[in-house]
Amino acid sequence: MRSNPEQNYKLMTFSSSLIYNYLLLFILLLLHTPTCPAAGGSWTVLRSSIGISAMHMQLLPNDRVVMYDRTDFGTSNISLPNGRCRPNSNDCSAHSVEYDVASNSIRPLMVLTNVWCSSGSLMRDGRLVQTGGWADGYRVVRTYRSCNTCDWQEIRNGLAQSRWYATNHILPDGRQIIIGGRQAFNYEFYPKMSTTEKALSLPFLVQTNDPNIENNLYPFVFLNPDGNLFIFANNRAILFNYSKNQVVRTYPTMPGGQPRSYPSTGSAVLLPLRLKQGKVGAVEVLVCGGAPKGAFANANRGKFDGALNTCGRIRISDSNPQWLMETMPLARVMGDMLLLPNGHVLIINGASAGVAGWELGRNPVLSPVIYQPDKKVGSRFEVQNPSTRPRVYHSTAILLRDGRVLVGGSNAHDKYVFQNVLYPTELSLEAFTPSYLNSSSSSLRPRILSPQTNTTINYGKRISVKFTILGRVDPKAVYVTMVAPSFNTHSFSMNQRLLILDSSDSAAAVGRVDYKVSVVAPPSGNIAPAGNYILFVVHKEIPSPGIWVHMQ
Ligand SMILES: *[C@@H]1O[C@H](CO)[C@@H](O)[C@H](O)[C@H]1NC(C)=O
Ligand SMILES: *[C@@H]1O[C@H](CO)[C@@H](O)[C@H](O)[C@H]1NC(C)=O
Ligand SMILES: *[C@@H]1O[C@H](CO)[C@@H](O)[C@H](O)[C@H]1NC(C)=O
Ligand SMILES: *[C@@H]1O[C@H](CO)[C@@H](O)[C@H](O)[C@H]1NC(C)=O
């Protein structure tokens, strides 16, 4: 076809303007199409082996982490010190270690009785008091106070009742409550008021139990700021007055009625408690993941059902509370839910099929997810960068004072098995570093100047917090949080609690890069039981390194 030059020119401008328009459209689409939110965070292997598989973890107020698995796993990969061996046994290996965060080092500890699937809580004085376990450990109470040479102390028959798979919580009076466990439809306290103090019955644990599955173990327990306990088991919850042994209210069953407790192991958090003028705002609980009804029986027959991809969120302080159901981007069973210092929720570890128990999980979920409670429904979840190591049954995760998350454990076998299995026993320790610690935001990151670490804070008193931020500061984007270090095992963090402190004024400059903000300490032990907390200054959702404070 022939054409004159003018036509050619028109054709050219027409087609190039077409290309231009298409390009513009494409760019606009790129900008406006809701894409999957950017992945964030990074993973670091801290130690390829700590010698044991970290099945239980607790951060202590000296930035060491006590960990243990079980005493009848056989020989672990770390020896007891000084050529010691277990009594009446040829096992000379350790089943508990202390990890020092600062030096990234490990010290083996001697735990005598079986701590398998036990529970615990930090006491006011910084000791870990851990309870129960299996066989010779059923009724044992063990305490661990950290020092360079310290070791476990054990109290035989410290419990009134055998406890295996129970949940503990610290109470405002300084005691712990220990709730449930296999065939233990009751609760008790430690320490006891008298040697004859018995366990008290809790029919809710009978009502939520399917005897063939025992599907309400490791109940999710939170101290409600009104002084009662919120107890969730299987697919529903109660508010419980433990002094009076009385159910104060019964919450509706979660829509769908699917089980969320062990072995259909989901996880749960008490969402951040926002304090204002001596009062707590809405009190909300978030329960995520689990495995559908029948999944346990199916998994035992070799059929691995897909995990639940839903979360239920409930405002437990409402007069007529209802569950709001939300959908996670990734289905998950055996995930851990952790409160990050900025009030976001990290969902980490676990699998997308099967249930908890030996050999019963499949398809590990390697990517954590962050949930932002204050965003609009539908835009709260953000998938994070994946690890390369499956962390299935018996894996753990806890928050460290520097804002990283320590991740360990995973053993789906009833011995240490390193070869010829789907998911070998994990002895490694990793850190998940949320994107708030990335170097590009370091100029926005606060550093606390005062108070000093280990400061005592009194209920209801005003605290002046001084900090430095090198970059451009938005005074309105500064807030102060306090996080209780929790005891983590079997996808639940006992005592997990985050308070957003009341600051009447925005942060104010007191120097070129120095600022101060005045906050009020929590008003009472119902809101923050006495003991150790990590205090963070957060700026634009980026937390400072925390400092230890002692609430009293
Ligand atoms: C804070 O207290 C812990 C023990 O609870 C102690 O190990 C640490 O050295 C103290 N830190 C400072 C700076 O005093
Ligand atoms: C643990 O010890 C066993 C037996 O000595 C060995 O085969 C295995 O590689 C070790 N595992 C790790 C992670 O160190
Ligand atoms: C529980 O009941 C006891 C006895 O009636 C009462 O003294 C206490 O205040 C109640 N606890 C709460 C948190 O309401
Ligand atoms: C660093 O973190 C900030 C805030 O958390 C985020 O906006 C930014 O995209 C991150 N940058 C990188 C490189 O991950």
Please determine, for residue 19, whether its predicted confidence score (pLDDT) is greater than 70. no
In short, whether 451's Cβ falls inside 6 Å of ligand 1 is no
Nearest CA among 453, 457, 447, 459 for reference residue 542: 447
Q: List the residue whose alpha carbon is closest to atom 9 of ligand 2.
A: 418
Residue 299 phi, psi dihedral angles, 5° rounding: -60, -35
Q: How many angstroms does the Cα of residue 401 sit away from the middle of ligand 4?
A: 20
pLDDT score for 178: 98
- Worst-scoring range by mean pLDDT, 27-31, 142-146, 246-250? 27-31
Smallest-distance ligand from the CA of 93: 2
Provide the pLDDT confidence category of residue 26 given band limits of 50, 70 and 90: very low
Q: List the residue whose alpha carbon is closest to atom 12 of ligand 2.
A: 49
Q: Which amino acid is at 201?
A: S
pLDDT tens digits, 453-496 = 999 999 999 999 999 999 999 999 999 999 999 999 999 999 99
For ligand 3, what atom is nearest to the CA of residue 526?
13
Q: How many angstroms does the Cα of residue 224 sit away from the middle of ligand 3?
A: 13
Q: How far apart are CA 204 and CA 213, in angstroms?
A: 16
Residue 296 phi, psi dihedral angles, 5° rounding: -70, -50
- Furthest-apart CA pair in the chain: how many Å? 108
Region 525-550: what's the mean pLDDT?
A: 98
- CATH number of this structure's domain 444-551: 2.60.40.10
Q: How far apart are CA 305 and CA 296, in angstroms?
A: 9
Q: How far apart are CA 81 and CA 70, in angstroms?
A: 18
Q: List the residue whose alpha carbon is closest to atom 5 of ligand 3.
A: 244
Tokens of 120: 């615990």
pLDDT score for 7: 38
Looking at per-residue confidence, does 32 or 93 come out higher? 93
Q: How many angstroms does the Cα of residue 478 sit away from the middle of ligand 4?
A: 18
For ligand 4, what atom is nearest to the CA of residue 542?
5
pTM: 0.93
Q: List the residue whose alpha carbon is closest to atom 11 of ligand 3.
A: 241
For residue 539, the Cα-to-chain-centroid distance in whole angstroms is: 22
Q: How far apart are CA 38 and CA 423, in angstroms?
A: 29
pLDDT tens digits, 192-232 = 999 899 999 999 999 999 999 999 999 999 999 999 999 99
Around 495, how many Cα atoms within 13 Å sit in the side-chain half-sphere?
37
Collapse the DSSP code of 220 into the 3-class scheme (helix H, G, I; strand E, B; otherwise coil) and give the result: strand
In short, whether 226's Cβ falls inside 6 Å of ligand 3 is yes
What is the C-alpha radius of gyration for the chain, rounded to an integer number of angstroms? 25
Q: How many angstroms does the Cα of residue 54 sit away from the middle of ligand 2?
A: 15
Smallest-distance ligand from the CA of 225: 3
Nearest CA among 385, 532, 386, 398 for reference residue 457: 532
Q: How many angstroms does the Cα of residue 172 sit away from the middle of ligand 3?
A: 13
| Residue 363: partners with Cβ closer than 8 Å, 6 or more residues away | 304, 351, 352, 353, 354
Smallest-distance ligand from the CA of 42: 4
- Worst-scoring range by mean pLDDT, 6-10, 311-315, 486-490? 6-10
Q: How many angstroms does the Cα of residue 65 sit away from the middle of ligand 1?
A: 14
Q: How far apart are CA 504 and CA 67, in angstroms?
A: 40
- CATH number of this structure's domain 42-437: 2.130.10.80
For ligand 1, what atom is nearest to the CA of residue 452?
13
Domain boundaries, the chain: 42-437, 444-551
Residue 443 has what DSSP assignment? G
